[in-house]
Amino acid sequence: MTTVENEKPRYKYIGSDRKRVEDPRLLVGRGGYIADLKFPGLLHAAILRSPVPHATIRSIDATEALKLPGVVAVVTGEDCKAHMNPCMNFGPSSIPQFPLAVDKVRYVGEAVAAVIAESRYIAEDAVELLEVEFEDLPAVTNPVAAMEPGAALLHDGHGSNIGYERTFEFGDVAGAISGADLVVEDTLHWGRSAGMPMETSGAVARPGLNGVLEIYCNSLNFSYFSFLIAGALKLPSNRLTMNPVPAGGSFGSKFTAHKVPTLAGFLALRTGRPVSYVEDRLDHLMNSDHHASDRYYDAKMGFTSEGIITGLDVDVVDDYGAYMQFGVGTHGNAFSQIVGPYGFRNVKYHLRAVLTNKCQQGAYRGFGSEVHNWVLERLIDKAAVELGLKPEEIRRRNFITNDQFPYKIPGGNVYDSGNYPAVLDKALGMIDLEHWRSEQKRLREEEGRYIGIGLATTQERSVFSATEFWALNDNPDFPLTSSPESATVTIDPAGQFQLLLHCQSMWGNSPETVGTTVLAEEFGIEPETVNVRYADTARALPGTGPGGSRYTVMLAGAVRGASRKLQRKLIDIAAHSLEVAAEDLELVDARVQVKGAPEKSLSLPELASTAYFFALNMPPGMESGLEESYTYDHPYTTLPSADRSDLGVFYPIMGHACHIAVMEVDPDTGTTKFLDYVAVHDAGTMVNPKSLGGHVTGGAAQGLGSTLYEELAYDDEGQFKSSTFMDYLVPTANEVPPFRIGHVETPSPFTEYGIKGGGEGGRMVTPSVVSAAIDDALREYGMRVRELPVKPATIVATVQAAIAESSK
Amino acid sequence: MTTTENSPEARYAGDTRTVTLRVNGQEVTREVPTRTTLADFLRDDLDLVSVHLGCEHGVCGCCTVLLDGGSVRSCLMLAVQAQGHEIETVESLSADQNNLHPIQEAFAEEQGLQCGFCTPAMVLRTKEILADGQERTDDEVRHEISGILCRCTGYQNIINAVQNAGRKLRCGGAGGCGSAHDEAKGA
Ligand code: FES
Ligand code: FES
């Protein structure tokens, strides 16, 4: 069910449930995915991955492998050392990374050698024939132990296993905590999961003409960062062309996942032939460029007796794994909404990012802000219980109020707009909590059943600015401030539209639907008639791609910008042809007409014909053709202060959500079941409510996975334990409840049409609301979710311990 | 010291066999290496790239095809095991994106897909479960599609699509029975 506040439609196309223009090709099985690409003479690579967590590579013997008929080459870290520069890296330069391990392996699954053969079957046979000698080093698996003196070092050149440490304080936290009437504290652990799309990352690389290397890949969104891959491959930037390939899902896992295309490119350069490397599921599970956050918290929050938050004190140790390619951007995300939707002003955040023998971290839907939100909401729920306040009441008392926007939070980011009470009220209106609260009592008393109610909110920061990549560092190597998006709109000589997007943006979101909807709004054409293409990097204007829920906002800005330029040209041509002043013309329903006299008009095909074929009918000096491009820069960003007491505005387009879950928990088995679930989101102006609802639902299902099922587990020796989908439990339809979705629309004052991002919020609140519902169901046993995923065994153990205690 | 352990079985023996089967209504005869999976055979030899490989170990279901009308995971079968059988991939419903089959159309209407990677499998599974012509509850559909993982949709719109497709098929085609579409959804 989808409900929307009643309002008269402001737009003809934007805001209605239209079919997606991407879907017909996907429904006939022609998604154009990376594994579908075939080139003559294409070779296939398979990778030998490290079976040990930490070791020196003593030798690699490829003799037997190379004897196998069909094997073309074996490439190792030695080749990388000789012929490559380290991969692109936004972390410390003292932690370099190559696509194949150089000298040493640092986690189970790290790539050691690549075999290139005529088929994947042969390549995999040959991988088994490689002989590698490893000299084991002590495995560093516990991030706290990793910081102790004497711990084995992951990177000698870095000199320590602490990749980053810093304390940020905004306001007076000591005062806020010591002056509080109530202080709640908790020790929390958010476990590792990952985006885990059904399609893995992959790339096909082939030598092209003029010494150009062509790489096709599904995992690089920044069109203006491909020079960094060229740099790793020691190619001039104009001799590398990256071709965007649609992806079968990403959720962060393909966000700048550069090792796969870099490796494919390197293998094509080494062999001089086209090479395909598509991860299999094992490759992806243990080495998917990145896993997501793995954080240990000691957190404290102060409250007045009325439940008003006075301050937050967070100490977080993040188990980063073996490399730090994204630096601490996932914590930058936490800073973007560090106070949630609440008005408190005092925050302290002590961060240690620790290197261990595990896969490195990177993006996953929420990019680390969802973890901080869980901590925030866990503490507020604890305080609510101690103060005897309902969860909705304690939140309502702390909300930033509607008259405070735009609102600058501690740390410097700005929330553009919001209406938090409206979202809460809408959610409360969709479910009868009083009924469920009395049912909870009745079922407990009459049937011995345990029902819990959880309610939680989240901010959904959207549209990142590139300053967040480095704002937490004092001396960043490359403090870039651009994160633009581009679009090119062409009306062809017959009057038909082409839309060119300048990045890899089809990840399961609907960039083509968004772009064509905006074009329809601007020109009065039908969205389905537009053809959409993606530029390769030789042609591409700056494009940052999806990520941080930015693409819908940024693309709408780019397409609208290009449309306005094109509209101006059409009107000028029409003015010249019709011999009327341009001010007296307007573009309505795909025609340029005289205001007040619509019978005097020219159609788009007529104007296109003039623009392409009749130069002598054009205004003097005007260029032939009908094509305009526009690069839309971030609508609102500012620099951090030099001392980082203010991190600047970097994530200001702020959505909001409230979820309410009713769950039943079986204390004997630890299993859970949803009885109802309501999710209300405010993503500003909606482009396509059904699509947004789909993203909320899909995101919430992933949040549920992170909360109850999914875990990328390592044992104490550093061995990886989640190497199949039998171990890493992606929720099936049986686990995901029917979420009831509602929307509130608070337009952004800073974006075109008032759109906000909405791609991640679903995942950002489910962990909090499910944790709260489980606690509520088993409150009499002192249940408190402190670690995700919450396993049935943990629930049962808590209940059993409480029973044993009470029977003493 | 750890050394990688090799089991150099001579598995690249290159054994081949001739296989004859029907694929999307056409008889096909090919010489294939015996170890070629049905999925790779369909994708690489017959260019039916709608068969998607999500795990290659039998869990995700993205490689689902219909074998004699029932769903199988084509990554877990060898091509030679399909000898004499009838295989359907999503192209058998419609390979023409301008003229979709009612089930495909229902998925489009309900946005029962996002990235499209699980979609051919979900569409084929829908065909299989709707073959009995019966109405079913959302919960029944939920259970019946649970053997295929979708990472994008959270399943609800897929369930809506199956129900929508069921109405279309029971009414004999895309437009039939008026606008059953939203009202029966039980929102
Ligand atoms: S690819 Fe066959 S079940 Fe996953
Ligand atoms: S639509 Fe992406 S996996 Fe189902």
pLDDT at B174: 52
The pLDDT > 90 percentage for chain A reads: 95
Q: What is the pLDDT of residue B177?
A: 63
Q: What is the pLDDT of residue B2?
A: 55
Chain A residue numbers with beta carbons less than 8 Å from the beta carbon of B152 are: 197-198, 249, 508, 694, 698
Whether the per-residue pLDDT at A136 is higher than 80: the answer is: yes
Question: What is the average pLDDT across A716-739?
Answer: 97
Residue A74's nearest CA partner among A112, A40, A103, A101 is A112
Q: Is the pLDDT of residue A496 over 80?
A: yes
Distances (CA, A) of A306 to A182, A341, A395, A398: 10, 18, 11, 10
- How far apart CA A744 and CA A747 sit, in angstroms, is 10
Q: How confident is the model at residue B52, as a pLDDT?
A: 98
At B10 the pLDDT is 47
Going through A191-273 in order, the beta strands assigned E by DSSP cover 202-207, 213-217, 240-244
Interfacial B residues in 120-159 facing A (CB < 8 Å): 120, 123, 138, 142-143, 145-147, 149-159
Residues 65-104 of B with CB under 8 A from A: 89-91, 94-98, 100, 104
Domain boundaries defined on chain B: 16-92, 102-180
Whether the pLDDT of residue A487 is over 90: the answer is yes
* Per-domain residue ranges of chain A: 399-463+651-808, 485-632
Q: Ligand 2 pocket: which of A198, A506, A509, A510 to mutate (most atoms <8 Å of CB)?
A: A198
State yes or no: pLDDT of A245 exceeds 80. Answer: yes
Whether pLDDT at A433 is above 90: yes
**Closest Cα partner for A133 from A113, A114, A153, A116?**
A113
Residue nearest to atom 4 of ligand 2 (CA): B150
Provide the pLDDT for residue B13: 53
Contact of B97 with A24, CB cutoff 8 Å: yes
Restricting to B residues 1-30, those with a Cβ less than 8 Å away from any Cβ of A are: 1-4, 6-8, 11-12
- Ligand 2, atom 3, lies closest to the CA of B150
For tokens 């030998």, the residue is A48
| SS3 assignment, position A606 | helix
Amino acid B8: pLDDT: 46
* Closest CB from A28, A247, A507 relative to B91: A28
**Ligand at shortest distance from the CA of B119:** 2
Report, as an integer, the average pLDDT of A158-180. Answer: 97
Cβ of B153 below 6 Å from ligand 2: yes
A631 pLDDT more than 90: yes
Partner A contacted by B57 (CB < 8 A): yes
pLDDT digit string (tens) for A173-189?
A: 999 999 999 999 999 99
- Reduce the DSSP state of residue A774 to 3 states and report it: helix
Structure confidence at residue A611 (pLDDT): 98
Query: Is residue B93 a contact partner of residue B101, using CB atoms and an 8 Å limit?
Result: yes
Work out how many CB contacts closer than 8 A connect A with B: 219
Q: What is the predicted ipTM?
A: 0.97
Q: Spell out the residues 6+ positions from residue A329 whose beta carbon is closer than 8 angstroms to its own.
A: A90, A367, A368, A468, A469
Q: Can you tell me the mean pLDDT for A36-42? A: 96
Quote the CA–CA distance of A320 and A330 in Å, as a whole number. Answer: 11
Per-residue confidence band for A326, with pLDDT thresholds at 50, 70 and 90: confident
Determine whether the shortest distance from the Cβ of B53 to ligand 1 is under 6 A.
Answer: yes
Pocket mutation for ligand 1, best pick of B40, B49, B59 (most atoms within 8 Å of C-beta): B59
- pLDDT for A2: 41
In this prediction, residue A358 carries a pLDDT of 98
Q: Which atom of ligand 1 is nearest to the CA of B58?
A: 3
- Percent of chain B past pLDDT 90, that is, above it, reads 83
Asked if residue B187 has pLDDT above 70, the reply is: no
> Any idea which fold A399-463+651-808 has?
Aldehyde Oxidoreductase; domain 4 (3.30.365)
CATH fold of A485-632 reads: Aldehyde Oxidoreductase; domain 4 (3.30.365)
Give A155-159's long-range contacts (Cβ < 8 A, gap of 24+).
A155/A94, A155/A95, A155/A355, A157/A94, A157/A95, A157/A96, A158/A92, A158/A94, A158/A95, A158/A355, A159/A94
- The Cα A703–Cα A366 span in angstroms is 10
Q: Which two tokens stand for residue A105?
A: 């392996």
Q: Ligand 1 centre from B47 Cα, in Å? A: 18
Quote the ligand 2 centre to A572 CA distance (angstroms). Answer: 45
Q: What is the pLDDT of residue A808?
A: 82
**What does the DSSP assignment read for A382-399?**
HHHHHHT--HHHHHHHHB
For residues B102-128, give the mean pLDDT: 98
Q: Regarding the domain delimited by B16-92, which CATH topology (the fold level of the hierarchy) does it fall under? A: Ubiquitin-like (UB roll) (3.10.20)
Instruction: Read off the pLDDT of each residue in A228-254 and give the average, rounded to a whole number.
Output: 97
**Residues B173, B170: Cα–Cα separation, whole Å:** 8
Which residue is closest to B114 within chain A, CA to CA?
A508
Cα angle value A374/A341/A318 (rounded, 5°): 35
Q: Which residue, among A22, A26, A510, A709, would best test binding to B if mutated, counting the most B CBs under 10 Å from its CB?
A: A26
User: How far apart, in whole angstroms, are the C-alpha atoms of residue A267 and residue A73?
Assistant: 9
Report CB contact under 8 Å: A27, B113: yes
**CA proximity to B50, closest of B59, B58, B39:** B39
Residue A629 phi, psi dihedral angles, 5° rounding:
-120, 155
Q: What is the dihedral of CA B149, B151, B156, B158, to 10 degrees?
A: -60
Which CATH code, of 3.40.50.10800, 1.10.645.10, 1.10.150.120, 1.10.3720.10, is assigned to B102-180?
A: 1.10.150.120
What is the position in ligand 2's atom list of the atom closest to the CA of A508? 2
Ligand 1 atom nearest the C-alpha of B60 is 4
A596: left (phi over 0), alpha (psi -120 to 50) or beta: left
Q: What is the least distance, in Å, from the CA of B177 to any CA of chain A?
A: 21
A125 contacts in chain B (CB < 8 Å): 11-12
Q: For residue A475, what pLDDT is reported?
A: 87
The answer to whether B62 and B52 have CB atoms below 8 angstroms apart is yes
The tokens describing B50, both together, are 């709608």
Average pLDDT, chain A: 96
> Please, which pLDDT band fits residue B183 given cuts at 50, 70 and 90?
very low
Q: Could you tell me how far CA B11 lies from the centroid of its own chain?
A: 29
Q: Based on the number of CB atoms within 10 Å of its own CB, is A783 exposed (0-12), middle (13-18) or buried (19 or more)?
A: buried
Query: Would you state the pLDDT for residue B14?
Result: 77
Backbone conformation region of residue B139, classed left if phi is above 0, alpha if psi is from -120 to 50, else beta: alpha
Q: Which chain B residue is nearest to residue A689, measuring alpha carbons? A: B111
Interface test with A, best of B65, B156, B159 (most A CBs within 10 A): B156
A532-565 residue pLDDT tens:
999 999 999 999 999 999 999 999 999 999 999 9
* Average pLDDT rounded to a whole number, residues B33-37: 96
pLDDT surpassing 90 at residue B186: no
How distant is the Cα of B151 from the closest Cα of chain A, in angstroms?
A: 6
Q: Which of A368, A365, A161, A192 is nearest to A291 (CA)?
A: A192
Give ∠ CA A713-A717-A720 in degrees, rounded to 5: 30
Q: Does B160 touch chain A (CB under 8 A)?
A: no
Q: Are strands A347-355 and A309-321 parallel, antiparallel or unpaired?
A: parallel
Q: Do A485-632 and A399-463+651-808 have the same topology in CATH?
A: yes
| Chain B nearest CA to A387, separation (Å) | 36
Q: How far is the CA of B158 from the centre of ligand 2 (A)?
A: 10
Please tell me chain A's helix, strand, coil percentages from 3-state DSSP, rounded to the nearest 5: 35, 25, 45
User: What does the DSSP assignment read for A619-655?
Assistant: PTTPPSS-EEEEEEPPSS--PPPTTSSS--SS--EEE
CB B40 within 8 A of CB A236: no
Mean of the pLDDT values across residues B19-45? 97
Nearest CA owner, ligand 1 atom 3: B58
- Please check the confidence at residue B87 and state whether its pLDDT lies above 90: yes
CA distances from B186 to A12, A366, B65 (A): 27, 32, 31
Chain B's closest residue to A37, CA to CA, is B49
Closest CA to A32 of A284, A216, A205: A216
Residue A1 has pLDDT above 60, yes or no: no
